[in-house]
Structure 1
Amino acid sequence: MTGNNRSGAPQRRQLRFNAFDMNCVGHQSPGLWRHPQDRSADYNTIGYWTHLAKVLEKGLFDGLFIADVLGTYDVFGGTNEVPLRTAAQVPVNDPFMLVSAMAAVTEHLGFGVTAGTAYEHPYPFSRRLATLDHLTNGRVGWNVVTGYLPSAARNMGQEDQLEHDERYNHADEYMEVVYKLLEGSWEDGAVVRDAEAGVFTDPSKVHEINHEGKYFKVPGIAITEPSPQRTPVVFQAGASPRGMRFAAANAEAVFVTCPTKELLKETVARIRDAAEAAGRGRYDIRIYTMQTIVTGADTATAQAKFEEYKSYADIQGALALISGWMGVDLSTFNPDEPIGDVKSNAIQSSVATFQKASGEEGKPWTVRQLAEWVGVGGFGPITVGSGEEVARQLVEWVDETDVDGFNLAYAITPGTFEDIVEFVVPELQKLGAYPTEYVEGTLRHKLFGKGDKLPETHRGAAFRLHPALSGR
């Protein structure tokens, strides 16, 4: 682990990797499922996921970040025709079901699992979180999302999703319930396992949370005993002003998507400022930016791969994804004109990023150019080159933007990740910019080196009924 100076900034920065995938076909590369080396269509097999987990652990990745949606991208054209035909994140399966199998074949790899606050009550959900934390020996994180697809709201019996900022207000209370259940219900000494006395749990050390708020009423106790981390690591991806306030109070790892170093540097600074304003350290949040890497034994090989990948990209599928992210039907736009000013009740940070993105000569990208860019790996930057070239460019991104690491999307899977482990990781290690072994312990300790539980400066720590018994 790197040390810290008095300001909390890491000395000798080592960058970090997460892999970005989803329990679906193609994830953010619509059309690439047709590539003969892509195995994303095997998403519904255990073998695909266990193999991927072992590849990532070999590469010393912090974790596998598993995205999720509960609806379809029917914003584009107002129907499911394009997302179904192009496999634009449909079909899609539950991400939670994958983790136990992957944990069984790995020892260190973490798992950031996406789950929304809009459609599942926090009481049963907190049990699912704690269960996975037990089964993985503390290697689980929860990516908190508030939802953005209207189709999900309709299928849950609602006319539409809540307004953007109100979704975060709802999520704030959701988090409060989860914190109360996982941090403030069972004391660390509650489970005694006294066979002679016939007592497994000391009832006097288990407490009702008595929560009654605007959205939830949860009077009773948590029904799981404390897991290794109690509250799994909290991940978050919202970069709108309201999302950033939520992250400043709750997130321990934040995922951002910025197409340029300039935009990324601004975003990282805002997140660190927000954390400090919330009473936390500037580096109490690990920030990962999305990136797609295409690499090989040399520059020519990598470039040839990239050109081949681009030939498989499905522009209609990309437009469906962008429409869902923005909450704007791009089928009604002139494909050769910029997006312009639009209002969004979806991912507001995506709208802002797309509007700021520019192509040649600083001109705003047209709708068609955005779709071509997103077609391979999503909207993050694409780095193409030999392992050595890619390694040096990634170090430059970290040095110039203060980001902690990269959330790596794929062009094809598992090939993209296998190439990164084979060609890029060794070059980063030569530069002293990447770990050569895992830190022991839970995911939280691996990320911060400060123990298994939430730090006292984190919002969730305030819900401990017995801080002295918190295991710190």
Structure 2
Amino acid sequence: MPRQIHFNAFDMNCVGHIQQGLWAHPRDRSMEYNRIGYWTDYAQRLEKGLFDGIFLADVVGIYDVLSGSPAPALRGAVQVPVNDPMMLVPAMAAVTQHLGFGVTANLMYEQPFLFARRMATLDHLTGGRIGWNIVTGYLDSAARAIGMDGQMAHDDRYDLADEYMEVVYKLWEGSWEDDAVVADRGAHLYADPAKVHAVHHHGRQYKVDAVHLCEPSPQRSPVLYQAGSSPRGRQFAATHAECVFVNGQKKEGVQEIVSDIRTRAEALGRRGDDIKVFLGATIVTGRTEKEARDKFEDYRRYVSSEAALTHAAASMGIDFNKFDWDEPVETGKSEAITSNIKAMDRAAGPQWTKRKLLEQMVLGSRQPPLVASADQVVDWLVDWVDTTGVDGFNLSRTVVPECFDDIIELVIPRLQERGLYKTAYSEGPLRQKLFGTPRLPDRHTGASHRVRHG
């Protein structure tokens, strides 16, 4: 049986996400982001189209690197204003049965005890359809917002994250035994105290002495997503991640990342297929190539160069307004997303300029769009899966909702005809749908904290 392709819709609880400026298109509805009906309609569309999930990005700071000011971000709605993604999930879950929900949450700024309760609550409310994109942040503005002088060093953030994961695994997997809940009305016994255990963690960064407040949820631990491509990020992914996102790479680069992460995972006792890799993709399609090209030319009229530079400046930690258009950009040492700088070096050479950067951002981001007929899109997707070993695609929004309506109406039926996409959802929690089991497998590091019966 051919390998089936997975799709996530990639979005954010804000006006402008990745393709900067397209919110101004007259058919785009993203300015309705603060209305619950917008998101429930969104979720129902995606579930009708058999999307695996909606993946919600997030940042907890403002993009103020360009010109050292938040003004460009505010003018262009560059991921600001931005609301809490977790608040959307219960509403979307209430109007769907199968759609998964991946939410980004920065572990740097919240104690693990409270975060573990929030994710367990969402796992209960969604019937086991929640996933967590583990991030450590990259914005100094976010660090300053919670009282720090700036970001911790890149690799130090991952060291902290490893300990954070140990704490939440202990809470999710090790505090309540599977049969701790008795729910015996006659005996007035809800939970057996002998089967509920306090977590005692005294580490370098965190100290917890407490019972997890939530009874076991369908998945216990949420499905774990991660997007680090640096050497330290890859090791973190190999240790913890079940789904990995990659972006901004040529085929050879993606293939190398996929192979490296899976090899690292196998060295830790996991299996290579314990990790599914999703490639970020921007697709503009139509019934014919001309229809797709016409749509693309329409979209690009709304791209904002200033907004695109604002986003890139923050993600790379470089104020591009300090450089003339054709002056080589000095990247220096950054504590932002180091893999983004390396990706630009590969794309345009080490002496790239602000002009060359903007040439890469034809739809307002560094993710080059695929502009093609639906048949060509299918061939492109299959080629990437066969060549690089990725399992699916994180599809960035352009003009919503039509960008996802096009995928649902034109691309998915063609994939189904070739046996490359599901024709119905399987039953069970999100992890069951993706990996065939509702719980972390015993070979995952999180399972080592699982309390055994008795």
- 1:327 — aligned with what? 317
- 1:406 — aligned with what? 393
Query: Distance in 1 between the 2:267 and 2:366 partners?
Result: 29
- 1:238 — aligned with what? 228
Aligned residue identity for 1:434: Y
Give the RMSD, CA atoms, in angstroms: 1.5
Aligned residue identity for 1:404: D
When residues 419 and 338 of structure 1 are mapped into structure 2, their CA distance, relative to the original with a 3 A threshold, is farther
| Partner-residue secondary structure (3-state), 1:435 | coil
Query: Distance in 2 between the 1:379 and 1:291 partners?
Result: 11
- 1:440 — aligned with what? 427
Could you state the TM-score of these two structures normalised by the residue count of structure 2?
0.97
When residues 15 and 339 of structure 1 are mapped into structure 2, their CA distance, relative to the original with a 3 A threshold, is farther
- 1:86 — aligned with what? 76
Aligned residue identity for 2:266: E
- 1:462 — aligned with what? 448
- 1:368 — aligned with what? 355
Is 1:185 the counterpart of 2:175 in the alignment?
A: yes
Query: Distance in 2 between the 1:289 and 1:245 partners?
Result: 18
Deviation of 1:271 (Å): 1.6
| Partner-residue secondary structure (3-state), 1:316 | helix
| Partner-residue secondary structure (3-state), 1:323 | helix
Aligned residue identity for 1:304: D
Q: Structure 1, residues 75-107: CA drift from partner, whole Å, max 9, x if none? A: 111100100001111100000000001001111
Alpha-carbon contact 1:209-1:219 (below 8 Å) kept: yes
Q: Structure 1, residues 186-231: CA drift from partner, whole Å, max 9, x if none? A: 0011110011111111111000111111111111100100100000
Percent identity over the alignment is 55
Unpaired runs of at least 5, structure 2:
none
Q: Structure 1, residues 114-147: CA drift from partner, whole Å, max 9, x if none? A: 0011101011110000000000000000000001
Query: Distance in 1 between the 2:139 and 2:6 partners?
Result: 30
Deviation of 1:365 (Å): 5.4
Query: Distance in 1 between the 2:255 and 2:52 partners?
Result: 22
When residues 353 and 363 of structure 1 are mapped into structure 2, their CA distance, relative to the original with a 3 A threshold, is closer
Residues 212-251 of structure 1 mapped to structure 2, 5 A cutoff: 212-251=202-241
**Aligned equivalent of 1:118, options 84, 104, 108:** 108
| Partner-residue secondary structure (3-state), 2:399 | coil
- 1:394 — aligned with what? 381
Unpaired runs of at least 5, structure 1:
1-10
Deviation of 1:272 (Å): 1.5
Query: Distance in 1 between the 2:365 and 2:411 partners?
Result: 20
Query: Distance in 1 between the 2:274 and 2:373 partners?
Result: 33
| Partner-residue secondary structure (3-state), 1:306 | helix
Query: Distance in 1 between the 2:242 and 2:344 partners?
Result: 26
Alpha-carbon contact 1:66-1:112 (below 8 Å) kept: yes
Query: Distance in 2 between the 1:312 and 1:163 partners?
Result: 37
**Aligned equivalent of 2:186, options 187, 196, 215:** 196
Query: Distance in 1 between the 2:125 and 2:360 partners?
Result: 39
- How many pairs are equivalent? 454
- 1:69 — aligned with what? 59
Query: Distance in 2 between the 1:119 and 1:15 partners?
Result: 35
| Partner-residue secondary structure (3-state), 1:283 | helix
Alpha-carbon contact 1:377-1:409 (below 8 Å) kept: no
Alpha-carbon contact 1:339-1:355 (below 8 Å) kept: no
Is 1:431 the counterpart of 2:421 in the alignment?
A: no
Query: Distance in 2 between the 1:373 and 1:349 partners?
Result: 16
Could you state the TM-score of these two structures normalised by the residue count of structure 1?
0.93
When residues 172 and 401 of structure 1 are mapped into structure 2, their CA distance, relative to the original with a 3 A threshold, is same
Q: Structure 1, residues 228-269: CA drift from partner, whole Å, max 9, x if none? A: 000010000111111111111100001110342222112211
Alpha-carbon contact 1:30-1:375 (below 8 Å) kept: no
Deviation of 1:337 (Å): 4.5
Deviation of 1:333 (Å): 2.3
Once superposed, which parts of structure 1, at least 4 consecutive aligned residues long, lie more than 4 Å away? Answer: 362-365
Is 1:384 the counterpart of 2:384 in the alignment?
A: no
| Partner-residue secondary structure (3-state), 2:413 | helix
Query: Distance in 1 between the 2:373 and 2:353 partners?
Result: 30
Query: Distance in 2 between the 1:23 and 1:372 partners?
Result: 28
Q: Structure 1, residues 324-358: CA drift from partner, whole Å, max 9, x if none? A: 11111111123334546532101111111111113
Query: Distance in 2 between the 1:365 and 1:284 partners?
Result: 38
Q: Structure 1, residues 286-333: CA drift from partner, whole Å, max 9, x if none? A: 100100010112111110111111111101111111111111111112
Q: Structure 1, residues 406-427: CA drift from partner, whole Å, max 9, x if none? A: 1000111111111111111111
Alpha-carbon contact 2:426-2:433 (below 8 Å) kept: yes
